[in-house]
Amino acid sequence: MRLFIKIIAIILMSFIFSIRVEPVSAGAAELSLRDMNGDTVNLSDFKGRVIILDFFATWCPPCKQEIPHFIELQKKYGGGKFIVIGISLSGASATKAFARKFGINYPVLIENGSAAAIYGPARSIPMTLIIDRNFKVVQKYIGYKSKEFFEGVIKPYLED
């Protein structure tokens, strides 16, 4: 039993220390990906809004925990000044079923390698970028974060 507790403690500690915050101050690069229906979506179409750009996979437990937070934030703040955009590392059909199951209410794009080439590979997921209304990447978060955390991050960028 003690060995089991030690193993769990090691796993939890490695998870806790894998969560990182990386401040960024670079312009957001143009990104064109297909959505779940095969339509092309350009990131620049959302210029002027605060964007949560969330890299996730359908099989990722922490990603599944964050999705309801993003749905709530999209309901509360979505519209003219804010949008959540998901970038799925899973295939289109798996993502479509996942989005339907979770009731995702924001655009979900399918990664084809170009997002990783632009924004760096998602070595750990979830990986979330915050893009301000000036189309600058201002924060990069790796690992699970709460709804309250993300709400606290975006609120100052929504004020003006």
68-122 pLDDT tens trace: 999 999 999 998 899 999 999 998 999 999 999 999 999 999 988 777 777 776 6
pLDDT digits (tens, 9 = 90+) for 34-51: 999 899 999 999 999 999
63 is catalytic: yes
Domains of the chain in sequence order: 20-158 (3.40.30.10)
Q: What is the mean pLDDT of residues 51-68?
A: 95
Residue 48 has what DSSP assignment? T
Consecutive H or E run containing 52: strand 50-56
Overall pTM > 0.85: no
Consecutive H or E run containing 94: helix 92-102
DSSP letters spanning 63-85: HHHHHHHHHHHHHHH-SSSEEEE
Q: Of 41, 60, 63, 85, which one is the catalytic site residue?
A: 63
Mean of pLDDT over the chain: 83
